[in-house]
A and B are shown apart, each in its own frame.
Chain A
Amino acid sequence: MNAGFLTVDPNDRRPAYQQIAVGVKELIARGELTEGMALPSVRQMAGDLGVNFNTVATAYRELQEEGLIAVKPGSGAVVTSRTAAGKPEGLTRPLRTALVNLILSGMPRAQIRSLVADQLRDLGVAGKGDWR
């Protein structure tokens, strides 16, 4: 994913709305979408991607329910404050599940640490070596 845009793969098994929601979340996590930044209207994004209006509306609704964006009728969606979004206790469980799955897959611990560090670096959270 690059700055200022997100990608949707029609061959991806995940539905398009999920790809859009995850894409926007990643951009917010990486700090490329900051508080107060306006997102394109549902109509514009649906037209640009060539997907159904409801697909983008569902993605925006999901992001709104998670407190990541605020949708104002007529003026589009804006990114909300990151402190207001998400509850940490609800977020550690999927992380733990993912780590357990990685361990059970037989991946060496060092490789798991490296993988986590790479992902964090990709999100712009940590520098090289912070997690090693």
Chain B
Amino acid sequence: MISFAIPYAVTWAVRLFGVRHVLRAPRFYGPDWCCDCRVAPGFYENEGRALMRSLQARVLMPLVVEAALGMLLWSQGRFLAAGAMEASAAAAAYLFHLSLLRGVAWRAWRYAVPVPDPVSSLAVSLRQRKIADYQRPWLEWTLRGAVGVVLVLLGVALARPDAGENVARLVGLPGVTLYAVLGLMLAKHAAAAWRVFGTPAVSPEQFMEVQDAARRHLALVCDYLRAVVLTPLLCWVALQGFPGLRAARLYLLVGPLAAVALVGLAPLVQSERQLVKLGRNLRTPLDRYRPVAATPPEGSFYLVGRLCFRPGETAMLMRGPGGLALNGSSLRTRAWLVYGAGWIVIGVAMVAWK
């Protein structure tokens, strides 16, 4: 139980650390700023109070649900399920927090302090962006190699004479985990293609440097999560293929996972620090930038406010009448919807197999 409790506690610590970060993010540039928008002094005591309360509620409410679910699973002795749930929640929360902050940033523009000579022009880099620019080849090949080894070991496990009674488990667990890894790869591709924010035509090189650093950091987060997900899977499949190792089962499952999780944190923290340092330098040029709302193209329509169809628009999230809306016209959105549908199919298949 202790072996499960330690990673579980570490995940919770990471989760709470992330929550603290998100709640402080709107004041990243100082008390007169709300995200990337310059606001009047005393903003957080007046109009900003409601904005911050809404952010706090949205960030903290899922924590309550997670804690309750975690306690339920622990009380039933389902330690592995509790750990998996918490790890998935931590990964999903990262993306959720990003979208929440984007929403706060957009809402804050209503309270922007007027500037005498605002810049509204956007700059665009003429450099082609490729996924290869944001990944470390040795890490990518290691992770791909790990997937290959998982498949080979799975073959070994399935070839065993006693495999017949465990086929559903032998195929199901690696299948679900590899599908999660596929989702992380999709997220990495999305991070590499993401513009992060529109580049104002004032000191664009500085903005582009931050955008690049943000993409690199997000790609690293995805790789870190891939490594953290693949490591226990690799050990688990090895245990299925070579039952002689089962005596050291607990050490094999928890040890490599803890090692990978801890060793991987160092470059992640370093990358985040660099990103924060670069980001703070943006305050001066940001002060002169005022975004102009884009007009929706012909044929746009909104379905229940949160799902829109804007033909020809490539962005996944667009500003809709009720806030951020998912753009069903974007190829990336469709890919994610198909991926999400895959999870529903997996869920149904798991229930049917039971």
Contact = CB atoms under 8 A, between A and B. Distances in A.
A47 B125 contact: no
Interface stretch (B51-59, B171-179, B312-320, B345-353): B312-320
B104 to A, nearest CB: 19
A9 B120 contact: yes
Interface bin, chain A: 20 to 34
B195 interface: yes
Interface string A1-41: 01011111111000000000000100100000100001111
Given A9-B120, A48-B199, A33 B126 contact: yes
B292 interface: yes
A8 B292 CA distance: 11
Contact of B315 (A2, A41, A47, A55): A47
B280 interface: no
B128 interface: yes
B335 to A, nearest CB: 13
Given A47-B315, A50-B315, A7 B122 contact: yes
B193 interface: yes
A46 B314 contact: yes
A10 B294 contact: yes
Contacts of B195: 47-48, 50
Given A47-B195, A48-B199, A52-B312, A8 B121 contact: yes
B124 A48 contact: yes
Contacts of A76: 128
Contact of B125 (A4, A10, A38): A4
B109 to A, nearest CB: 14
A40 B294 contact: no
Contact of A50 (B128, B129, B193, B294): B294
A49 B313 contact: no
B199 A40 contact: no
B297 interface: yes
A103 interface: no
A72 to B, nearest CB: 13
Contacts of B122: 7-10, 49-50
State the main secondary structure of chain B at its contact with A.
loop
Interface string B111-127: 00000000011111111
B8 to A, nearest CB: 39
A47 B314 contact: yes
B201 A7 contact: yes
Contact of A40 (B126, B312, B313): B126
B128 A41 contact: yes
A46 B352 CA distance: 44
Contacts of A45: 124
B313 A53 contact: yes
A11 B311 CA distance: 23
Contacts of A50: 122, 195, 198, 294, 315
Nearest to A54: B312
B208 interface: yes
A5 to B, nearest CB: 5
A48 B122 CA distance: 9
8 contacts: A5-B199, A10-B292, A11-B120, A33-B126, A40-B128, A50-B315, A52-B311, A76-B128
Given A5-B124, A8-B124, A40-B128, 12 more contacts: A2-B205, A6-B123, A9-B121, A39-B128, A41-B128, A43-B193, A43-B314, A44-B193, A48-B124, A48-B125, A54-B312, A55-B312
